[in-house]
């Protein structure tokens, strides 16, 4: 039995942030820290005081953590990033919100003297003397100090104060893990009430020194103990007035803490077998467990339940059967065709999760080039006359104001081109779509056609497919490409508007261009010919998509069963220790793939894997001390080679989010491997 704590974090948006740039705006991003350790960094949203992030994270934590803090920063290209403010949520606060903290929180001022972290190693002794006892303080070392300089380190020294006297250590340059091994002595009078204060500081040549934290000792207690040694957590300086709030803007957050007791895997086998038996029997069986789960699940946690069930059945090879059972259950209680799969039911949420797991690479192949072009062009696009901004056009010296009609026509041409390109790419992608996705859509198409066989419902099977493929997969990815890993940064305001209009057009095509969808926003009428043509293209695409034979699907499943599917993959920089190893001899960017059996890498995603480390040989995966290689976000993988010799591989990730994701995935897969 093991205890596990996890945080579900959604950083939604900010509003009314103060301007930090001379342009009257800011370039905000968020950093999330747990007990002063950075675990998340959002993308930067440029030139806005009301940024939208919409980023979601799942973080596993030690049950002993105390606080999670959200810092809103302003990115600067030429100087240190400005701190706008922060929101702190203690563990006790999160415990009082069992359904999660959700809402707006005011940003509070960040006092540098309270932003401390790390520990200091001290040895304190009361030493007898000829005339009086002496207090001896040995400053040995410190670890995990806060980085205060632009290079990501500090230049720390220690100041020891007692009874009006102050002594200082030497300065250790560019280190958050300094060693001093210096000793100081003070005269100690019997009955003295003065406290001993040990302060850590970051030395700066030009500006004032930065406070790194302090530890205060009761001398009377030391007198009784005579000697004390250990690591002491650095504390903030709270002598100043408390933080003020209200004029730094607000941050909208959704944070949920979950404390779990994880039992040995054998304890869950009876439930797994019961669920699998019900899915295999389908609606012909007597089981009511799946409908009961849906009925007892609240709207707030239905997505989480759907994701976990889908993972379970994917592992059992029953994902398609599970989704088919959900399709039949929803069709059985639906009487109106136009309401089918429109609610946030277990079927809808499970299908969303399935597409993100099985179809993400397919999505990138179809959408990626179009999204990249929109980001690169950064054209001004607007179809709503009430929102048109008329701008000057023409060559130097011949500028004239562009008319509203010209703006609308140019915008319509741009969107028609993007929509036409997207539909063409989609129609060419039938063979690229994963067989398991095609087979699932085939099952959905057939079930809906059986439920609504009349001629008046001819389009209903097609709309059932597009309700997932277009409305819940492609359109959300177009509107927020960062959240679907299509881009590393959020779009600016102009690009966001283009993406939103394109997503609306895709939704109209997915709705089969119904009169109801046209009536909502009449100003989308200029796209109507392309939308109408797109409906024909989409129906032809779906007809081909669901035309997959059982033999074709089984052949692909057999091929996939011979190789473990990737749990996580992506580019990393690698460095290895000296000695023979299957790894390379210097830092190099390679493409890594983690499966349920091994960690392997190759030069490119498509090239043959050139080396691998079996999960059974991995002994540990840990973060590496900051700046050990002159780089951030480095982890070490300790393993044994085929001859049983210990080896270490150092892998550098591009950001703290990527580092935590790789560590979490590695540790989970290694634990599962050792368990079995």
Convert the pLDDT of each residue in 274-330 to its tens digit: 888 888 887 776 668 888 888 888 877 888 889 889 888 887 888 889 999 999 988
pLDDT at 251: 94
Secondary structure (3-state) at 558: helix
| Highest-pLDDT range among 147-156, 476-485, 551-560 | 476-485
Taking the alpha carbons at both ends of the chain, their separation in whole angstroms is 16
Query: Domain residue spans in the chain?
Result: 2-110+244-261, 119-233, 324-390+402-559, 564-674
Position 340 confidence tier, pLDDT thresholds 50, 70, 90: confident
The angle, 0 to 180 degrees and rounded to 10, between the axes of the packed helices 493-510 and 404-427 is: 60
Strand duo 611-614 + 598-602: pairing: antiparallel
Per the DSSP assignment, residues forming a β-bridge with 513 are none
CATH for 564-674 is 2.30.29.30
Q: Torsion angle, CA of 452/455/457/460, rounded to 10 degrees?
A: 90
Under a CB-based contact definition with an 8 Å cutoff, are residues 155 and 149 in contact? yes
Among 535, 552, 599, 596, smallest CA distance to 572 is for 599
Ranking 158-172, 233-247, 397-411, 452-466 by mean pLDDT, the lowest is 233-247
pLDDT at 332: 87
What's the Rg (C-alpha) of the chain?
30
Residue 264 pLDDT greater than 80, yes or no? no
Mean pLDDT of the chain: 83
pLDDT at 483: 84
User: The domain 2-110+244-261 belongs to what CATH superfamily?
Assistant: C2 domain (2.60.40.150)
pLDDT at 170: 94
Higher-pLDDT residue of 239 and 107 is 107
Backbone phi and psi for residue 41, each to the nearest 5 degrees, phi listed first: -135, 125
Among 15, 28, 18, smallest CA distance to 492 is for 28
Helix (H) or strand (E) holding 39: strand 37-41
- The whole-angstrom separation of Cα 70 and Cα 80 is 18
pLDDT at 191: 67
pLDDT at 286: 66
pLDDT at 627: 54
Contacts of 107 (CB under 8 A, 6+ apart): 17, 72, 84, 85, 86, 87, 245, 248, 249, 250, 251
**Helix, strand and coil percent figures for the chain, each rounded to 5:** 40, 30, 30
Backbone phi and psi for residue 88, each to the nearest 5 degrees, phi listed first: -115, 135
pLDDT at 85: 92
Residue 524 pLDDT greater than 60, yes or no? yes
In the CATH hierarchy, which fold is given to the domain comprising 119-233? Immunoglobulin-like (2.60.40)
Residue with tokens 């700046």: 627
Look at the alpha carbons of 466, 471, 475, 481 in this order and tell me if their dihedral is positive or negative.
negative
Convert the pLDDT of each residue in 223-235 to its tens digit: 877 888 999 988 8
Mean pLDDT across the stretch 80-95? 89
- The whole-angstrom separation of Cα 532 and Cα 527 is 9
In the CATH hierarchy, which fold is given to the domain comprising 324-390+402-559? GTPase Activation - p120GAP; domain 1 (1.10.506)
What is the reported pTM?
0.69
Same CATH topology for 2-110+244-261 and 564-674?
A: no
Mean pLDDT across the stretch 452-460? 89
Convert the pLDDT of each residue in 205-253 to its tens digit: 888 888 999 999 988 888 877 888 999 988 887 665 444 545 889 999 9
Mean pLDDT across the stretch 392-407? 63
Residue 342 pLDDT greater than 60, yes or no? yes
Q: Where are the beta strands (DSSP E) in 581-632?
A: 588-595, 598-602, 611-614, 618-623
């Amino acid at each position: 039995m093991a205890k596990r704590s996890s945080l579900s974090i959604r950083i939604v948006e900010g509003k009314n942030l103060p301007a930090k740039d001379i342009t009257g705006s800011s370039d905000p991003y968020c950093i999330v820290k747990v007990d002063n350790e950075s675990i998340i960094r959002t993308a930067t949203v440029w030139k806005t005081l009301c940024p939208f992030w919409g980023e979601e994270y799942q973080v596993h934590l030690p049950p002993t953590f105390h606080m999670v803090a959200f810092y809103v920063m302003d990115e600067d290209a030429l100087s240190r990033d400005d701190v706008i403010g922060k929101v702190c949520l203690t563990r006790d606060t999160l415990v009082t919100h069992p359904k999660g903290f959700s809402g707006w929180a005011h940003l509070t001022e960040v006092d540098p003297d309270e932003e401390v972290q790390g520990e200091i190693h001290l040895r304190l002794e009361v030493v007898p003397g000829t005339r009086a006892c002496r207090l001896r303080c040995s400053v040995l070392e410190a670890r995990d100090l806060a980085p205060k300089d632009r290079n990501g380190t500090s230049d720390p020294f220690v100041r020891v104060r007692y009874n009006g006297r102050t002594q200082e250590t030497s300065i250790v340059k560019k280190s958050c893990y300094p060693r001093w091994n210096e000793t100081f002595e003070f005269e100690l009078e019997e009955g003295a009430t003065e406290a001993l204060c040990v302060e850590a500081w970051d030395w700066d040549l030009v500006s004032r020194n930065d406070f790194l934290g302090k530890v205060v000792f009761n001398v009377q207690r030391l007198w009784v103990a005579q000697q004390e040694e250990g690591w002491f957590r650095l504390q903030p300086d709270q002598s100043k007035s408390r933080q003020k709030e209200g004029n730094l803007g607000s941050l909208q957050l959704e944070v949920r803490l979950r404390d779990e007791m994880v039992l040995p895997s054998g304890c869950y086998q009876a439930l797994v077998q019961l669920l699998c038996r019900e899915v295999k029997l389908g609606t012909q069986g007597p089981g009511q467990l799946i409908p009961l789960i849906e009925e007892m699940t609240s709207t707030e946690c239905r997505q989480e339940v759907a994701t976990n069930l889908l993972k379970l059945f994917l592992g059992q090879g029953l994902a398609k059967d599970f989704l088919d059972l959900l399709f039949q259950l929803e069709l059985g209680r639906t009487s109106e065709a136009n309401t089918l799969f429109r609610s946030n039911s277990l079927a809808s949420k499970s299908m969303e999760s399935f597409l993100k797991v099985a179809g993400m690479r397919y999505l990138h192949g179809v959408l990626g080039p179009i999204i990249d072009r929109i980001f690169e062009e950064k054209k001004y696009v607007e179809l709503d006359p009430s929102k048109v901004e008329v701008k000057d056009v023409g060559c130097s010296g011949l500028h004239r104001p562009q008319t509203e009609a010209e703006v609308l026509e140019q915008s319509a041409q741009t969107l028609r081109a993007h929509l036409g390109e997207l539909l063409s790419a989609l129609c060419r992608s039938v063979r690229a779509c994963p067989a398991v996705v095609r087979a699932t859509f085939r099952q959905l198409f057939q079930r809906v056609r059986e439920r609504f066989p009349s001629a008046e419902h001819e389009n209903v099977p097609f709309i059932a497919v597009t309700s997932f493929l277009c409305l819940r997969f492609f359109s959300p990815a177009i509107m927020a490409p960062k959240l679907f890993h299509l881009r590393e940064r959020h779009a600016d305001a102009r690009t966001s508007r283009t993406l939103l209009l394109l997503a609306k057009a895709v939704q109209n095509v997915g709705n089969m261009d119904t009169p109801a969808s046209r009536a909502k926003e009449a100003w989308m009428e200029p796209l109507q010919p392309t939308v109408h043509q797109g409906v024909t293209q989409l129906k032809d695409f779906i007809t081909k998509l669901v035309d997959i034979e059982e033999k074709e699907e089984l052949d692909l499943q057999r091929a996939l069963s011979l190789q473990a599917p990737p749990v996580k993959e992506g580019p990393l920089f690698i460095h290895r220790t000296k000695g023979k190893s299957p790894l390379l001899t210097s830092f190099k960017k390679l493409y890594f793939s983690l499966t349920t059996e091994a960690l392997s890498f190759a030069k490119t995603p498509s090239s043959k894997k050139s080396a691998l480390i079996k999960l059974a040989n991995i002994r540990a995966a840990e973060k590496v001390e900051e700046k050990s290689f002159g780089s951030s976000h480095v982890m070490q993988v300790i393993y044994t080679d085929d001859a049983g010799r210990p080896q270490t591989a150092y892998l550098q990730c591009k950001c703290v989010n990527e580092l935590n994701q790789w560590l979490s995935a590695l540790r989970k897969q290694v634990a599962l491997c050792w368990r079995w």
